[in-house]
Structure 1
Amino acid sequence: MTDPNEVDFAHTDAADRKRREKATGLARYIWERDISGAELLDLPDAQLRKLAREAGVNPPSTRETWTVVAELLDEKSRWAAAHPGHPQATPTHSDEKIMWIKRPITPWT
């Protein structure tokens, strides 16, 4: 039985703010590589940790942060679709997507 007076430090306002800050930094890096929220959440944990380190961010310890990142990516994609002429509506490093997201190989028939 848990103590009702025990604080869940993972879900305090400060923890939520830190999680959001980390997610925002990750989302900026990942969006520039043209990776969608769904593609991100399909990556295995080892690949997510590598991606976070490449972004210069300490890898999140929970999937909760990655879910927030995916939501931010989807939000940015919707914004970009609504503002196609805006300079920030086009990822600048989309050529790096292949480093993270492998396209399925079409078998020869």
Structure 2
Amino acid sequence: MGAGDEVDFAHTDVAVRNRAAKARALAVHAWHRGLGGADLLALGDARRRDFARAAGVHPPSTLETWRAAELLDAKEAWAARHPGHPAAAREVPEERSEWI
């Protein structure tokens, strides 16, 4: 790397893995509260930050991390095909109304 070359940390393998892990944590938290992808995307910025904190992650700085919505849509489709599977269950769906 020459003088003046800058590393774009936002696009390193570590950054990509960190965003994916954060998206999964957000998706899991949303899933267990009965929220879908559209619900997450419909939240305003302040509510999304609150939601991220409630999920135990630092609020994402870009909408890119909110691809958790895509993960939720995939999980919803999977759960519809496997309704009796334990992973299709939601832990606290009564909390849905807190967020929407």
> Is there any run of 5+ residues in structure 2 with no aligned partner, and where?
none
How far off is 1:6 after superposition?
3.5
Counterpart residue number, 1:56: 56
Runs of 4 or more off by more than 4 Å in structure 1? none
How far off is 1:89 after superposition?
0.7
Counterpart residue number, 2:79: 80
Distance, in Å, in 2 between the alignment partners of 1:39 and 1:58 is: 19
State the AA in 2 paired with 1:78.
Answer: A
Distance, in Å, in 1 between the alignment partners of 2:7 and 2:81 is: 42
Deviations 1:6-52 (A, max 9, x none): 33211111110000011111111111011110111111010000011
Q: TM-score, normalised by structure 1?
A: 0.83
Distance, in Å, in 2 between the alignment partners of 1:8 and 1:41 is: 27
Distance, in Å, in 1 between the alignment partners of 2:12 and 2:49 is: 24
Alignment size in residue pairs = 97
Write 1 or 2 for the structure with the bigger share of helix.
2
How far off is 1:90 after superposition?
2.1
Which residues of 2 match residues 1-109 of structure 1 at below 5 A? 5-66=5-66, 68-101=67-100
Give the alignment's Cα RMSD to 1 decimal.
1.4
State the AA in 2 paired with 1:60.
Answer: P
Deviations 1:33-87 (A, max 9, x none): 1111011111101000001111111111111101x21111111111101100112
Q: TM-score, normalised by structure 2?
A: 0.90
Q: Percent identical across equivalent pairs?
A: 57
Secondary structure at the counterpart of residue 91 of structure 1: coil
State the AA in 2 paired with 1:75.
Answer: A
> Which of the two has higher C-alpha Rg?
1
State the AA in 2 paired with 1:65.
Answer: T
